[in-house]
Each structure stands twice: as structure tokens, then as C-alpha cells.
Amino acid sequence: MPDRSDFQRFPISWWFSIAMAILLLDQLTKNWIVNDFFLGQRDFITSFFNLVRVHNYGAAFSFLSDAGGWQRWFLAVLSMVVSVFLVIWLIKLPRVKYIEGIAIALILGGALGNLYDRVVFGYVVDFLDFHWSGSHFPAFNVADSGITMGASLLIFDMLITRQDSE
């Protein structure tokens, strides 16, 4: 098992590569859905999972989706500000904090994926639909998954990392 000092050898570009991989995977999957599914189309995959094409004009869980249009640019600017903050955080982050770096990179990739959709289309394309007993979790995408995994990893890192180990 490598110790933390082994990760000092990873250049900062490693974290940005993770972010770009999430962005690329997000855009490739959304492009596939947009090209192969009509709006509202739902394809049954398993007893708990469908592929569906939906457009989210708001934020998470469609918050602000019916706000009249101003939310597009508000959420886009917010995503840009957060993305710049995350880039600065990554640049300043000591490379031995590899779990934190991976988490931030996942969040950055997801933020950029959804930002692209908002600016180009005016909405975010969602397509992953999980359900159980007739209840559906709000549809989401690869970018949302990156953000969720990154946030979870940040919390995990805060819980396992000793605060005095700077």
C-alpha cells in the first residue's frame, strides 16, 4: 500500500485530468441521449432503472425550474464562480492531499459539464432514472454523479483525516 508521500509525485495535471474525464464522459453520454431519445422518451432497462430524456431548467431536483428564465444565467454564473474557486483550490492544494484533490476534481468536472449545458442549451440534460415501487428519484446525469461522488469523498476525507496532520 503506498503511503501519502508517494502521491507527491503526481503532477497537478492528474487532478485536472480527472475533471476533464468527468466533463468528457458527461458530454458524450448527454450527446448520445439527445441524438437517440426524443424529449420525454423513457426506455425500461431493469425493474429499478430507466433511461429517460428530460430537460432540467433549474438546479438540483428541478429547484427554480419554473422561475421564468432568469435562473439560466444565475445558475451559469454561479457555476462559473464555483468552478474558478475549485480550480484555485486545486492549484493551492498540497498534492499529498490526494483524496481531497480527487474529490474537488470530480466536483469540478461535474460543474463544468452542467455549466456547458446551461450556457449552450439553456437547460441541463438528465437521463438516469432510478425508481422503486412506483416512486422515481429525480433524473440525473454523469455530471451530477461526479458532483455527488466528489462531495461524498470530501466528507469522507474530513472524517478520516486528522486535522493536525497538515
Active site residues: 126, 144
Q: Which residues are CB-neighbours of 3 under 8 A, at least 6 positions away?
A: none
Nearest to 142 by CA among 52, 27, 48: 27
C-alpha cell at 94: 498540497
**β partners of residue 129:** 50
CA distance 142 to 162: 31
**118 contacts 76 by C-beta, under 8 angstroms:** yes
Instruction: Say if residue 157 is exposed, middle or buried (CB neighbours under 10 Å; 0-12, 13-18, 19+).
Output: middle
